[in-house]
Structure formats: C-alpha cells, structure tokens
C-alpha cells in the first residue's frame, strides 16, 4: 500500500471513530432528557437547558475529530 492510501484509511478511521460515539451520546442525552421532561413537565426549561449544553459538548468532540482528520489528510 502506498502512503496516500494509508493516509486515507487513517482519515476514515478518525472520522468514524470520532463521530460514532458523539452521535450515540447525543441520542442517549436526548432520550434521557425527554424521559425526564415526561416525568416532571414543570422542570422542562431546566432540563432542556442542561440537555442542549450536553449535546453541544458532545458535538464539539465530533468537531475535534474532523480537525484531526483534516490534519492527517493535508499534513
């Protein structure tokens, strides 16, 4: 295998590994947040705020994976 194809495989692994876990965690956070709102509708605004913050932090990890993949690809 030539170095270019090894780089492409490394990029693919970085993207898959770096987006799979955040995607699963965003789904889990959303599910648990909606369950909590269903059990206690009065606290919906507090739960929603915390849920959106947690989703944003999980999404940031996916963005870091994208940056790592771009560095692998172009450096």
> In CATH, which superfamily holds the domain spanning 3-74?
F1F0 ATP synthase subunit C (1.20.20.10)
Residue by residue, pLDDT tens for the chain (75 residues) are: 898 999 999 999 999 989 999 999 999 999 999 999 999 999 999 999 999 999 999 999 999 999 999 999 998
Predicted model pTM: 0.79
Q: What is the pLDDT of residue 37?
A: 96
Please check whether residue 17 is in contact with residue 64, taking contact to mean a CB–CB distance below 8 angstroms. Answer: no
Q: Identify which of 8, 11, 5 has the alpha carbon closest to the alpha carbon of residue 68.
A: 11
Two structure tokens written together for 7: 């780089």
Please check whether residue 66 is in contact with residue 12, taking contact to mean a CB–CB distance below 8 angstroms. Answer: no
């Amino acid at each position: 295998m030539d170095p270019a194809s090894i780089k492409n495989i490394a990029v693919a692994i970085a993207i898959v590994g770096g987006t799979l876990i955040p995607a699963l965690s965003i789904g889990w956070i959303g599910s648990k947040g909606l369950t909590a709102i269903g059990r206690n509708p009065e606290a919906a605004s507090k739960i929603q705020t915390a849920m959106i913050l947690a989703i944003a932090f999980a999404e940031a990890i996916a963005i870091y994976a994208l940056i790592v993949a771009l560095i692998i690809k172009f450096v």
